[in-house]
Amino acid sequence: MSKQIRSAAGFIIYRKIEEKIQYLLLQASYENHHWTPPKGHLENGETALDAALRETQEEAGIGVSDLLVDPNFKQVLQYEPDKKDYVKTVTYWAAHLLNPNTPVILSDEHQDFKWLAVEDAKRLAQYPEMQSLFDQCDQYLTKNDQPTC
């Protein structure tokens, strides 16, 4: 019997401070208090991009007008969450935070946030798939000389 697939979406949000890229990670308030970019499950037939925008607003207080989403960096992670009976598919886009001083306002789903360089973000993210995603995103942003603030 094949496992059910649950779809989610989010953003690898980054900002540039003094020409250095920093990535946003949120620490979950539940279970193992893992660190991830803002993301969440698709609801009521919404598109992955709509879900990513909604979840980012809900989880981090960052709205669509605060972000420049890069449609050319889109990656899909697929994994089996610990102690779950389904497969999770998460679509991520790179999203530039237009004003690097935009406040992060956490929902009750998260207890902390950090802006980190890629190596520090990978250390906190722990999961190999997420570490690889940060590497891919950082290489893409460096190669394509993304906007600075």
Three-state SS at 129: helix
User: Is residue 149 in some structural domain?
Assistant: no
Give the tens place of pLDDT for each residue, 34-59: 899 999 999 999 999 999 999 999 99
User: Is residue 32 in some structural domain?
Assistant: yes
User: Is residue 134 in some structural domain?
Assistant: yes
User: Is residue 84 in some structural domain?
Assistant: yes
Residue 149 CA to residue 147 CA, distance in Å, equals 7
For residue 29, give its domain range: 4-143
User: Is residue 80 in some structural domain?
Assistant: yes
Task: Name the band, by pLDDT with cuts 50, 70 and 90, for residue 85.
Answer: confident
Give the tens place of pLDDT for each residue, 109-122: 999 999 999 999 99
User: Is residue 61 in some structural domain?
Assistant: yes
In sequence order, what are the residues at sequence separation of 6 or more whose Cβ sits closer than 8 angstroms to the Cβ of residue 11? 37, 38, 39, 52, 56, 67, 69, 92, 93, 94, 95
User: Is residue 148 in some structural domain?
Assistant: no
CATH of the domain at 104: 3.90.79.10
pLDDT of residue 149: 37
User: Is residue 138 in some structural domain?
Assistant: yes
Q: What angle do CA 64, 112, 5 make, to 5 degrees?
A: 65
The string of DSSP letters for 37-80 reads -SEEE--TT--HHHHHHHHHHHHH---GGGEEEEEEEEEEEEE-
Number of domains in the chain: 1
Give the tens place of pLDDT for each residue, 87-144: 889 999 999 999 999 999 999 999 999 999 999 999 999 889 999 999 999 999 999 8
Contact 148, 16 (CB under 8 A): yes
